[in-house]
Amino acid sequence: MPKSASDSPSLAPSRKFDRDMQIPPETQVVIDFDDNRAASALVGPYGQNLALIERRLGVVVDSRGNHISIAGSRDGCDAARRVLETLYLQATQGQDLAQGDVEGAIRAVLAQGSLFEFDPKAAKTAFETINLRKRPVRARTAAQDCYIRALKRHELVFGVGPAGTGKTWLAVAHAAQLFERKEVDRIILSRPAVEAGERLGFLPGDLREKVDPYLRPIYDALYDLMDSRIVERALQAGEIEIAPLAFMRGRTLTNAVIILDEAQNTTTMQMKMFLTRLGENSRMIITGDPTQVDLPPGQASGLAEAVRLLDGVEGIAQVKFTAEDVIRHELVARIVAAYEGLPQKPATGKP
């Protein structure tokens, strides 16, 4: 277990970290981690995890092997210590630490505040988790936590917001969990990028090969969250089905999880058609970004209209993400925020 500066006699009394004593504005906290491998994972390649903590919490973090020191304000040092202890616990359990995990830990610690004694195990489980055979998927922001809770409690969920917020990723994770638990028989993936069957003719191959390029982000999530052999076998058996939106008409989808990605590019009639495919013991997840509508000018977005019409309908949940929920790369959040400051393209698709 990590040993903080409050347990270390080597620190001068004026630099000792103690919650109950008066501490000067500039505080230093020193933590010694027992597991060298986990401590190395905690630091990250070229110290990028510590650099992210420095930028987000306004502290200076220095690493010497498994010995990490934090300098800065009392609140900043306390928050950084909590983040490091949370991440160290994950690393000791064999989990890889990506920058998204670091960002998630920072947000969880800031959300919890410093009113109560900190427990890294409690912080680790503060947000909802989707448990898969390959690895657990944990919410990294409050909006993602709300999204997972909605997926577990509702049969129809809209995830609306900018790119990089984890809408599709968590939808696929939830579908994979239900599939692994045998709560559903199939996972059906759809996307409106291919609007009509005749537009597929110029692409080589069978139906799956024609639509693969459009559904590659969902495929990537499937292969990352599930064993590749299981995914391939399920695709061949039709248990994971690729269904272009234009081919959904007339079907009733039972015992399945149906995911519609990039739903902002559906028309009003396409969205109504898709929503009415929901059958018994099925879950439907619809994701999209209303600010990236690619429909022809004058064509209304089916996602925007559905979100408006179905707001407050019993059994339907809507979770809205913002730039603050972007978990890809720090620059992605800044890019989204910059574009949100510009006049947006209307949801109707009109110029």
Of the two residues 327 and 55, the one the predictor is more confident about is 55
Residues 96 and 21 in one domain: yes
Answer yes or no: is 349 within a domain: no
Residue 119 banded pLDDT, cuts 50, 70, 90? low
* CB neighbour list of residue 179: distance below 8 Å, 6 or more residues apart: 186, 187, 234, 239, 240, 257
pLDDT-based confidence at 2, cuts 50/70/90?
low
Distance CA 257, CA 189 (A): 8
Residues 6+ apart with CB under 8 A from 259: 168, 171, 172, 175, 187, 188, 189, 190, 218, 284, 285, 286, 287
Least confident of 5-9, 120-124, 199-203, 253-257: 5-9
* Same domain (yes/no): 161, 204: yes
Are residues 41 and 22 located together in one domain of the fold?
A: yes
* Exposed/middle/buried for residue 314 (C-beta within 10 Å: 0-12, 13-18, 19+): exposed
Tell me the three state secondary structure of residue 65: coil
| pLDDT of 328 strictly over 50 | yes
Final residue belonging to a domain, choices 76, 106, 126: 126
Domain end marker among 126, 150, 165: 126
Domain residues for the domain of 100 are: 5-126
Highest-confidence segment of 97-101, 116-120, 121-125, 129-133: 129-133
Residue 348 lies inside a defined structural domain of this protein: no
Mark whether 209 and 145 lie in a shared domain: yes
What's the whole-number mean pLDDT along residues 281-291?
A: 92
Residues 315-328, mean pLDDT to the nearest whole number: 85
**Residue 169 lies inside a defined structural domain of this protein:** yes
Q: Is the pLDDT of residue 18 over 80?
A: no
Asked whether residue 95 is domain-assigned, the answer is yes
Share of the chain above pLDDT 70, in %: 77
Query: What confidence score (pLDDT) does residue 198 get?
Result: 40
Do 120 and 171 share a domain, yes or no? no
- Tell me, yes or no, whether 121 lies in a domain: yes
Q: Are 271 and 156 in contact (CB under 8 A)?
A: no
pLDDT digits (tens, 9 = 90+) for 199-243: 545 555 555 566 666 677 788 888 889 999 999 999 899 899 888
Section 104-127 average pLDDT: 62
Sequence-separated (6 or more) residues with CB below 8 Å from residue 111: 126, 142
Provide the domain count of the chain.
2
Query: 220 and 283: one domain?
Result: yes
Q: Are residues 160 and 225 in the same domain?
A: yes
What region does 257 belong to: left with phi over 0, alpha with psi -120 to 50, or beta? beta
Q: Assign residue 120 the CATH number of its domain.
A: 3.30.1370.10
**pLDDT at position 193, please?**
58
Same domain, 98 and 155: no
Q: How confident is the model at residue 1 (pLDDT cuts 50, 70, 90)?
A: low
Residue 278 lies in a domain: yes
* pLDDT tens string 158-176: 999 988 888 999 999 999 9
Indicate whether 52 and 136 sit together in one domain. no
**pLDDT number for residue 172:** 93
Find the Cα–Cα–Cα–Cα dihedral 65, 67, 72, 78, rounded to 10°. Answer: 130
Residue 346 falls inside a structural domain: no
Asked whether residue 111 falls in the same domain as residue 235, the answer is no
pLDDT averaged over every residue in the chain: 79
Per-residue pLDDT, 116: 46
Report whether pLDDT(185) > 90.
Answer: yes
156 part of a folded domain: yes
- Following DSSP, what letter does each residue of 130-159 receive, concatenated? EE-SS-EEE--SHHHHHHHHHHHH-SEEEE
- State which of 126, 149, 183 marks the end of a domain: 126
- Looking at the structure, do residues 22 and 90 belong to the same domain, yes or no? yes
Residues 206 and 313 in one domain: yes
Q: How far apart are CA 313 and CA 263, in angstroms?
A: 19
At 257, which CATH number? 3.40.50.300
